[in-house]
Structure 1
């Protein structure tokens, strides 16, 4: 009887952990000054807040990019202040095959609207950039953000038009069953003009709101089954260099740089023990 219970305990624990296998995210934050962190007191942009949310949720995270900026350790980013869509696309074309991210967060189009007017080819150019990312890093998922609100009316009108183009390209990607998610930075959870450092860059509160919207988009991608493991190219699965399924997830969560200790494994074990207790009550010995 004792050996039967031991087998049962092992089975419950194993099944609980297997059902919650750690998801690894090699994220390339792609954009311009907002992604870089202009307006943030630390230079972290949304990136540190987002990383903390993901680590708390049980993900392994490694941010990748050709630049480093911000106050936290895992601060790699693919962003240059002032870049327009064509320049961001050129950066993506170089960085994507170098890092092979399995998740790319795109914030583009802001600087194309700095002179006001309309940018009728913004959607087509961003769509072409995303297609290039898909080609250069097969299996990757792309999350695109709508362009943030702006305090200058002429520039904001341009941004509203660009966002309509992004909604159209999102519909096209959906028809293709592409691994693509559009997140609305102008929705109820996104930054407003009261969350801006100047006329167009978020302040710390604005970046915190952006992080929450990105997180929701990543969860949507995961729930749709879009996210697959990063390519094996020597880049660690998280910023600490620790990786691997099953038991090594303990070390990864315990040492997750820049994020609070994840409670996910503890919750999994508690769930498993609850199941064991139920069985023991049903079958006393």
Structure 2
């Protein structure tokens, strides 16, 4: 074979290898969308990014027109977390289409509405803004996957009514999502409310601190990893923080032990938010738990999540849900509630019985 023929053969071999090499899959583009809780600095995004990387989800690209703001660890920090923004203003001013055009996301994860609640925007108005943004997302990408958060609790010192307004918004989100979801572009509700405390997980009653950021990252991860892993999450949204009553097993004291710690996390005129942490103090796993306490100030529970609550006179009984009754040795779970009060609101001492 001549030198020229050998050279041609070598070139053809190289070209053949290049043609045969499969194209690398494009990175999935994910847009975190919201206000300062998402972007200023929104360090739950750094925790989530590294959690995804450690979980093997490396083919992702966080996108947005805003850059990262530190957080002390390497991560892909592009985002659309605009401090001080109202979702109703973003919708009214048609700001989202330009962000979508610049970044072309495949998935949007949205925690938006805190400033609207603070500004006393009606729940229906906020949901209408959500709907407009979803329509704009689908105009950008007909197969857009959308994660919408039930927002974290809020209790700013200048807005005692905000806590209850956030509850009203979160209660309405699942129904809105169910009416808006489609097979091609599912809306998955991510419960960022349950288990989050403004007293321990924020530094100002609104913005998450280190523990709050960790809780937010941990809540986003399963929903987002399901999309990235190819599993189709159910578009039927989570109904927390107002779960339907679920029968629970009757406790059998002696088979396991547990303690209950009662905390008032938010309080406003005529109402308050509380949470109770149940911990298995026995050596064996629990099959279920029941917490009871007696109010001394005429308080009345009006809503609960993470447990099924009943009240007879001053006595409150909360039983586990079907999904959180089993606790390993040393494990704990938290349920929350909203209650009314008038005149005084002393904290009762709860009693826990494990089955």
Q: Of 15, 20, 26, which aligns to 2:29?
A: 26
Distance across 1 between alignment mates of 2:63 and 2:164:
33
CA contact (8 A) 2:65 2:103 kept: no
Q: For residue 224 of structure 1, what is the aligned residue in structure 2? A: 232
Q: Note the C-alpha offset of 1:177.
A: 6.0
Q: Judging changes above 3 Å, is the alpha-carbon distance between structure 1 residues 156 and 116 closer, same or farther for their aligned structure 2 residues?
A: farther
Q: Of 176, 179, 183, which aligns to 1:172?
A: 179
Larger Cα-atom Rg:
2
Q: TM-score, normalised by structure 2?
A: 0.52
Distance across 2 between alignment mates of 1:56 and 1:22:
19
The number of aligned residues is 201
Q: For residue 83 of structure 2, what is the aligned residue in structure 1? A: 81
Q: Judging changes above 3 Å, is the alpha-carbon distance between structure 1 residues 115 and 95 closer, same or farther for their aligned structure 2 residues?
A: closer
Q: Runs of 5+ in structure 2 lacking a partner?
A: 1-23, 235-355
Q: For residue 135 of structure 2, what is the aligned residue in structure 1? A: 131
The list of structure 1 runs, each at least 4 consecutive aligned residues, that deviate by more than 6 angstroms after superposition, is none
CA contact (8 A) 2:31 2:62 kept: yes
Classify the secondary structure of the residue corresponding to 2:131: helix
Structure number with higher strand proportion: 2
CA contact (8 A) 1:117 1:155 kept: no
CA contact (8 A) 1:117 1:158 kept: no
CA distances 1:11-36 after superposition (whole Å, capped 9, x unpaired)? xxxxxxxxxx9894311111111001
Structure-to-structure mapping, 1:50-129, within 5 angstroms: 50-59=48-57, 60-71=59-70, 72-89=74-91, 90-116=94-120, 118-129=122-133
Classify the secondary structure of the residue corresponding to 1:76: coil
CA contact (8 A) 2:86 2:113 kept: yes
Deviates most, 112-121 or 58-67:
112-121
Q: For residue 47 of structure 1, what is the aligned residue in structure 2? A: 45
Q: Note the C-alpha offset of 1:191.
A: 5.4
Q: Runs of 5+ in structure 1 lacking a partner?
A: 1-20, 38-42, 227-285
